[in-house]
A and B are shown apart, each in its own frame.
Chain A
């Protein structure tokens, strides 16, 4: 049981990393990866939203959508849950940490449209996890997202000082870096059976 949970965690964080293997959540991956500090905060915020929304959507799916035969409402319900969650996190963050709230800027409300969060909720229902597994899967996904974000942010901070050809400055070199990172993560394939 415990071993199974650990495998789910490792699988969702490393092997099937949401950003670098599933290519979900690319928008904040490129948008909020200029500074490690902000990237890590963004990662935590997304992890929180992911975990809570995975648990809530799992509950709704299990006790409302399936028994009532309303699976077709899945997307709408999930988006509603995610949007409310994000709004809650934003309100709390604006009060408790205004500086972080400002540095995340538009990307905080944009967690709503972060496909990694919706993708996670959909994957949970697709894989038929129980509630504990769903929560662990979400935490793993969030950790993987944070890891990918802070890795890229760390590289980008160093790239600031690198002598990059003019044509590659800005977005192009970031995309190339992201591609290399993704290839590096291929090395985890086989660590855990899908």
Chain B
């Protein structure tokens, strides 16, 4: 049998098989087509499509199915109020989302001796290998697990290597809170403007030994507050937001500048 003949046979066979199986598949598809709710596709279109799982569903498709099936339209914490409003319009249901929380990184490290670490460049790796052996055992490690996990890119590192949250972008989904191995990140609500940027519960001397910007539990903020909104608990000031008037007296008195009034910035709706 000639080579040309073989080539022709091969082409005919493969072509024939392809057409045959194609037809079979088409017929089966027609017979067993699954009707899906078109609204699921519409809702999925609106969702961010990051498949991050912050809502507790298996990806955005799962979230779309859950929302159409009756879950709250504001199910997606990443999409926030904006997405909830669009979905609400699509499904004819009102959004019932509460206030959006914002992530706050409660440490601005200025370590006396920068730690030596040559392992994998993640906070979790650092925490596992080094832990409390070097520097401050409570503060921000600064290797950016939160940056990596943030689905909207709201966290970044500034020139001094400190993590900053861009509140215009933050949707309060809380993924960074879970990602941080030292629980440095918390979510704050609107009205909680005064923030403490230190988590070290050690006494003054212990904190001073490791960090230049840590709270030394001097208690000046407690005395400075005209509203009695600050108490010292476990060597750290605790703020009572019901009493705090954002007057800033404590901020001016703090010798380590670890108190700051950070205004709540609402999400930019474009």
Residues of A within 8 A of B (CB): 60, 64-65, 68-70, 73, 76-77, 80-81, 84, 87-88, 91-92, 94-96, 98
Residues of A within 8 A of B4 (CB): none
Residues of B within 8 A of A60 (CB): 17
Residues of B within 8 A of A95 (CB): 32-34
Q: Are A92 and B14 in contact (CB under 8 A)?
A: no
Q: Are A84 and B13 in contact (CB under 8 A)?
A: no
Residues of B within 8 A of A77 (CB): 13-14, 17
Q: Judge if B10 is at the interface, Cβ distance under 8 Å.
A: yes
Query: Secondary structure of the A side of the interface?
Result: helix
Q: Which residue of B lies closest to A96 (CB)?
A: B32
With contacts A70-B6, A73-B14 taken as known, whether A80 is within 8 angstroms of B34 at the C-beta atoms is no
Q: Which residue of A lies closest to B21 (CB)?
A: A84
Q: Are A91 and B21 in contact (CB under 8 A)?
A: no
Number of A-B contacts (CB under 8 A): 47
- Which of A73, A80, A81, A92 is B10 in contact with, Cβ under 8 Å? A73
Report Cα–Cα, A81/B13, bound state, in Å.
13
With contacts A80-B17, A80-B21 taken as known, whether A68 is within 8 angstroms of B34 at the C-beta atoms is no
Interface membership of chain B positions 4-15, coded 1 if the CB is closer than 8 angstroms to chain A and 0 otherwise = 001001100110
Residues of B within 8 A of A (CB): 1, 6, 9-10, 13-14, 17-18, 21, 24-25, 28-29, 32-34
Distance in angstroms from B59 CB to nearest chain A CB is: 12
Known: A69-B9, A70-B6. 16 other contacts (CB 8 A): A60-B17, A64-B13, A65-B13, A68-B13, A73-B13, A76-B14, A80-B14, A80-B17, A81-B17, A87-B25, A88-B24, A94-B32, A94-B34, A95-B33, A95-B34, A98-B34
Q: Which residue of A lies closest to B13 (CB)?
A: A64
Q: Are A68 and B9 in contact (CB under 8 A)?
A: yes
Residues of B within 8 A of A69 (CB): 1, 6, 9
Distance in angstroms from B69 CB to nearest chain A CB is: 13
Distance in angstroms from A80 CB to nearest chain B CB is: 6
Please list 10 pairs of residues, one from A and one from B, whose beta carbons are closer than 8 Å in the complex, sorted by A's number.
Answer: A64-B13, A68-B6, A69-B1, A69-B9, A70-B10, A80-B21, A84-B24, A92-B28, A92-B32, A95-B33
Residues of B within 8 A of A96 (CB): 32
- Which of A80, A87, A91, A98 is B18 in contact with, Cβ under 8 Å? A80
Q: Which residue of A lies closest to B1 (CB)?
A: A69
Report Cα–Cα, A80/B13, bound state, in Å.
12
With contacts A69-B1, A69-B6, A84-B24 taken as known, whether A91 is within 8 angstroms of B32 at the C-beta atoms is yes
Report Cα–Cα, A68/B25, bound state, in Å.
26
Report Cα–Cα, A18/B190, bound state, in Å.
62
Distance in angstroms from A82 CB to nearest chain B CB is: 10
